[in-house]
Amino acid sequence: MSSLPNPFSGADPAFPGMDVPTPPEDPLWSGWDVVGITAVTVVSLIVIPLLVVVPAHLLVYPKLSLMDIMQIPDVVLLVQLLVYWAVFGLIYFLLKGRSGAFWKPLRWNWPTRSWAAFLTLGALLYLALMGLGQLLPIPKQLPIDRFFQNAREATLMSLLSVTLAPFMEELFFRGLLYPVLARRMGIRLAVLLTGAAFGLLHGAQLKYSWALLIIFLVGIALTLVRAVTKSVAASFLVHVGYNGTLSTLLFVATSGFRHLQKLNS
């Protein structure tokens, strides 16, 4: 019994010499899997805050309303961490169930070149876009500023920005979303759409201001790194370099987060 031709094999045996276009990406998961993970993330953002805020109201902040507790940076960071773990667990079991592996299907292969090169690329990307930011009418006060009210909160936020935040964002956007878009729409459109989705994720933090243009460009750059190197680990390193440069400059400008009022001057 002859096997059916593989439509993604690059050549159709029924028509010798005729090449069949090979998709730039062929992940084990579908677009519906990504939609499902997105839906679980949205549900987690509703359920997990309740699981945190209600006990916090009963045991720690009895005089504050639930909405006020939700604005406390420590509570927000705890909720974010729990959401990260829930989403990571779902992705982990999805990939392990499909292939028996986790890192390889995601193409989380560490680049053979020096890691420093990708970290430096992230730093240069930040410095280039910082100049663009000076030309845009970005409000001085943004919702994300509430995480920089004191040195402890600023330190926690900075640590998160160079560890779990870029890890989870690269895992979803460059690891899961980009491959399914590239398979269906091609690399160029997939890069644009992934960058746009990445920008929208940060919309609320930036009050949907012109700062989103910068994040959109960052998303484009990170996805291009992923597309060219075929490595999510490479885009992760660039992401860490970008966020790390921002955090380092904030640390220096505020004398070790001791004078955070300088950020508003």
| Within-domain flag for 17 | no
State percent of the chain over pLDDT 90. 63
Question: What residues are paired with 11 via a beta bridge?
Answer: 19
Within-domain flag for 26: no
123 alpha-carbon distance from chain centroid: 17
The answer to the question of residue 6 being in a domain is no
Query: Mean pLDDT of all residues in the chain?
Result: 88
* Residue 53 included in any domain: yes
Is 140 inside any structural domain?
yes
| CA-closest candidate to residue 177, choices 161, 206, 160, 201 | 201
Given a cut of 50, is residue 211 above it in pLDDT? yes
Q: What is the pLDDT of residue 5?
A: 38
Please give the pLDDT value at position 265: 64
Percent over 70 (pLDDT), the chain: 90
pLDDT of res. 25:
87
CA-wise closest residue to 10 among 19, 18, 2, 1 = 19
**pLDDT tens digits for 39-95?**
999 999 999 999 999 999 999 899 999 899 988 888 989 999 999 999 999 999 999
Taking CA 37 as the corner, what is the angle to CA 32 and CA 43, rounded to the nearest 5 degrees? Answer: 125
pLDDT of residue 207: 81
- Tokens found for residue 11: 């050549």
Q: What is the pLDDT of residue 22?
A: 63
pLDDT interval class at 7 (50, 70, 90): very low
Domain that holds residue 206: 31-264
For residues 238, 127, 220, 214, the Cα torsion angle rounded to the nearest 10 degrees is: 130
Global confidence as pTM: 0.88
**211 domain residue, yes or no:** yes
Q: Specify the number of domains making up the chain.
A: 1
Q: Per the domain annotation, does 16 fall within a domain?
A: no
Tell me whether residue 144 is in a domain.
yes
Whether the CA torsion 223, 229, 231, 236 is positive or negative: it is negative
